Amino acid sequence: MLVDSHCHLDRVDLRPFGGELAGVLDAAAAAGVGHLLCVGIALETWPAMVEQVAPFANVSLSVGVHPSEDGREPQVAELVRLARTTARVVAIGETGLDYHYGAERGDLQRAWFRTHVRAARETGKPLIVHTREARADTLAILAEEGAAEVGGVLHCFTEDWDMAARAVDLNFHVSFSGIVTFKSAAQIQEVARRLPAERMLVETDSPYLAPVPHRGRSNHPAWVREVAAFVAKLRGEPFEQLAATTTGNFFRLFRDAVR
């Protein structure tokens, strides 16, 4: 069994699946994907996402505001309240810092990031962290806000070994997306080889970042199998071993997720 530890089912292109989310999940099941974590990125769209995945017992949820979103400002009390509205919520996030297009909103992003860490600590749920070209500030805020108390994951990892090692020291996991399969991803591939097995997750970040050989197409959860197979080959491990390890890691980290 595999887990897609990070996807956005409310944004997946449903046209190849008969216009139905059930078709996406059927394709995932056929690829051996037995559980999915659908990640929130905006408060405005969160209720509709919850409603969309409600019929599917093997889909968990998170609540948070992506650092690049321009919507309503998250407050600790609201994040905590939403996280407690359904047992399907297993994490706080997606949150973090993204300086790729400049740090003009840096002060706002840092404030919102701290808000999420405080909500995670209040609920006891792990964090899902997005970090892009913001290494020092990401690590500093996680340390300053005591994020190690709840742990979490640096999702769609794009940094180097030093950052991965420091994340592990802060009680965080590292998740690999389709980017790890790209020819240009030598730095990320090195991390995938060296990372302790007990700190590794795999994801699609659907509908973004489809892995080779599907690069450039709209991504969907079934293709987490391609990510896992590539990482297993990098590490010289049987696919079945890596699948079992990452699945076990997921359910230990996201303790509220139901198999």
Using one digit for the tens of pLDDT, what is the confidence trace for 39-67?
999 999 999 999 999 999 999 999 999 99
Q: How far apart are CA 181 and CA 8, in angstroms?
A: 20
CATH 3.30.565.10 given to domain 2-217+236-253: no
Which residues have a Cβ under 8 Å from the Cβ of 251 and sit 6 or more positions away? 3, 257, 259
**Token couple for 25:** 């999940």
Which residue in 27, 1, 33 sits closest to 14, CA to CA?
27
Q: What is the pTM of this model?
A: 0.97
In the Cβ-directed half-sphere of 192, how many Cα atoms lie within 13 Å?
Answer: 32
**Token couple for 169:** 């020291």
Per-residue pLDDT of 63-105, as tens digits, reads 999 999 888 899 999 999 999 999 999 999 999 999 988 777 8
Q: Which residues are bridge partners to 96 per DSSP?
A: 130
